[in-house]
Amino acid sequence: MKDPIRHFVAEFVGTFALVFIGGGAIVLSKMPGSNVGLVEVALAHGIILAVMVTALMRISGHFNPAVTIAFLTTRRIGSFMAGVYVLAQLLGAMVAAYALKAGTPEMLFEAARGGGQAVSLDITTGQAFLLEAIATFFLVFVIFGTAVDPKAPRVGGFAIGLTIAADILAIGPFTGASMNPARSFGPAIATNIWEGHLIYWVGPIVGAIIAAQLYEWVLMRHPVEPVEHGPVDPL
């Protein structure tokens, strides 16, 4: 029982930090006279994710249901532990959103949708889905390339945080650059605003699965099986 609890706590804290700090920056951007804009919001998300991934990656470090589902499809996590991870992520995001609601001015919190995301009127539902899928593809691809691959450069969460920041800079004005169903779920619960919420689940999950499968089966070289296991053709 110790391992599920340990992983639950790590995922809860990491996701809480991401939603609280990232959402806090979004709320602050709505303050009159504030100098917080897209760059600052992107950096807030990227920095806190880099720090929390580095601090907790020896235990878990997903903080994102799309990432966990991608790991599940590549058999890098079991179904029970995947459920533990996703539950912790959703609860962490929800508690973080309510903490922001309790700690920030009501008018700013509502204007920022609790730190949640919204689809721009300038794009279609299909375009929003595509942008979220591609952005999450980059995120999971980098996770596999820097944290999963046994021959990957050990850079902690730095590259992952940079990817989050870059994605927000690129598509933030169009979809809010969620890339993370939990990051959208928490604020939606706290504000009861569910507009476009399906996009923030389906898009990231599809992009994450494609990235994980591509890296796992095309780019990663799997070790040769022991001779007694019979001949194999390693990738």
pLDDT in tens, 32-79: 989 999 999 999 999 999 999 999 999 999 999 999 999 999 999 999
pLDDT in tens, 92-144: 999 999 999 999 999 999 999 999 999 999 999 999 999 999 999 999 999 99
Q: Is residue 232 part of a domain?
A: no
* Dist CA 183 CA 181 (whole Å): 5
Q: Is residue 235 part of a domain?
A: no
> Which has more pLDDT, 68 or 3?
68
Q: Is residue 228 part of a domain?
A: no
List the domain range (segments joined by +) for residue 46.
2-222
pLDDT in tens, 178-193: 999 999 999 999 999 9
CATH number at residue 72: 1.20.1080.10
Structure tokens at 33: 């006279």
Structural domain count of the chain? 1
For the chain, percent of residues with pLDDT exceeding 70: 93
pTM for this prediction: 0.91
CB 22 within 8 A of CB 112: no
CB 62 within 8 A of CB 71: yes
Q: Is residue 233 part of a domain?
A: no
* Dist CA 72 CA 167 (whole Å): 24
Question: In this predicted structure, what is the pLDDT of residue 235?
Answer: 41
Q: Is residue 229 part of a domain?
A: no
Q: Is residue 230 part of a domain?
A: no
- Which of 69, 91, 78, 96 is CA-nearest to residue 4? 78
Q: Is residue 7 part of a domain?
A: yes
The amino acid present at 227, given as its one-letter code, is V
Q: Is residue 231 part of a domain?
A: no
